[in-house]
């Protein structure tokens, strides 16, 4: 049992050549770390705003309108709208490049890198604490970047690697387990997804708490650069994994 779990986790991080999703699982793990880094920065630096977790923003918006202190209703609303715009952009990328999953991820990650790099520049030139102007600009570019990422992961359809949402992943560990009458929890793969988000969030929090918040975004940009480089090598692959999954 333990060896099977570890093997599943290892094959998620470093997929074997016969993996039906090719190199995508490992690359989506990196994107999950990106989410942790970016949301750590946005929540801890941008006044309790998530740019990847829209469930959180809807709840924060309700808290703010209900009179709770420490939230900016307009920032949560901006994040929801900019995330939606990024998802719209992601849909356009799917329509144009979705026939090849490697090329699709390459274009999407390269586009996302542009927006995250803009956020890095804004973060480094903005004095702390973040004022209204830089806050609006950072939520704008990061919301678009993460909406694009979410739409991309959704279209790629690699099981349990949504890169942004873990609620269903955690639910599946128990609901799909054999004691619950399921076919298997896929704990190894799902644990990797959870650990990746945790690692990104922890690294981002440590950087922010130590006064190095912009470096969290720089780390996210660096990971996106790795993904762009990796997908540039497989964007013309003729393997079966490159075909869209339904």
Task: Record the pTM.
Answer: 0.94
| Domain annotation covers residue 244 | no
| Domain annotation covers residue 241 | no
| Domain annotation covers residue 97 | yes
Within 10 A of 44 (CB to CB), how many other CB atoms are there?
18
* Residue 50, pLDDT score: 95
* Residue 186, pLDDT score: 80
CA-CA distance, 197 to 58, in Å (whole number)?
A: 21
* Residue 188, pLDDT score: 85
Q: Could you list the residue range(s) of the whole structural domain that residue 122 is in?
A: 23-233
Domains of the chain: total: 1
| Domain annotation covers residue 13 | no
| Domain annotation covers residue 224 | yes
| Domain annotation covers residue 115 | yes
Q: What is the pLDDT along the chain (246 residues), one digit of tens a residue?
A: 567 778 888 889 999 988 999 999 999 999 999 999 999 999 999 989 999 999 999 999 999 999 998 889 999 999 999 999 999 999 999 999 999 999 999 999 999 999 999 999 999 999 888 999 999 999 999 999 999 999 999 999 998 899 988 888 888 888 877 777 667 678 888 999 999 999 999 999 999 999 999 999 999 999 999 999 999 999 999 999 999 986
* Residue 123, pLDDT score: 96
| Domain annotation covers residue 1 | no
| Domain annotation covers residue 69 | yes
Angle between helices 213-232 and 187-209 (to 10 degrees): 140
* Residue 205, pLDDT score: 97
* Residue 1, pLDDT score: 55
* Residue 182, pLDDT score: 67
* Residue 168, pLDDT score: 83
* Residue 51, pLDDT score: 96
Say which CATH number the domain at 211 has: 1.20.1250
């Amino acid at each position: 049992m333990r060896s099977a779990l570890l093997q599943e986790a290892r094959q998620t991080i470093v997929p074997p050549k016969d993996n039906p999703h090719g190199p995508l699982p490992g690359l989506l793990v990196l994107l999950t770390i990106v989410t942790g880094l970016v949301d750590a920065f946005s929540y801890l630096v941008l006044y309790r705003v998530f740019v990847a977790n829209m469930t959180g923003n809807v709840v924060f918006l309700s808290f703010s309108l209900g009179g709770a202190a420490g939230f900016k209703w307009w920032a949560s609303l901006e994040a929801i709208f900019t995330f939606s715009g990024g998802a719209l952009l992601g849909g356009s990328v799917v329509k144009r490049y979705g026939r090849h999953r490697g090329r699709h991820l390459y274009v999407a990650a390269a586009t996302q890198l542009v927006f995250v790099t803009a956020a890095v520049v804004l973060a480094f030139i903005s004095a702390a604490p973040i004022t209204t102007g830089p806050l609006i600009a950072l939520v704008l570019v990061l919301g678009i970047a993460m909406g694009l990422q979410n739409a991309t992961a959704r279209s790629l359809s690699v099981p349990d690697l949504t890169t942004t949402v873990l609620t269903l992943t955690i639910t599946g560990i128990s609901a799909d387990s054999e004691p619950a009458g399921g076919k298997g929890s896929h704990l190894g793969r799902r644990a990797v997804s959870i650990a990746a988000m945790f690692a990104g969030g922890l690294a981002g929090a440590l950087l922010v708490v130590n006064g190095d918040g912009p470096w969290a975004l720089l780390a996210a940009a660096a990971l996106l650069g790795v993904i762009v480089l990796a997908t540039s090598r497989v964007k013309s692959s003729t393997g079966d994994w490159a075909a869209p999954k339904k």
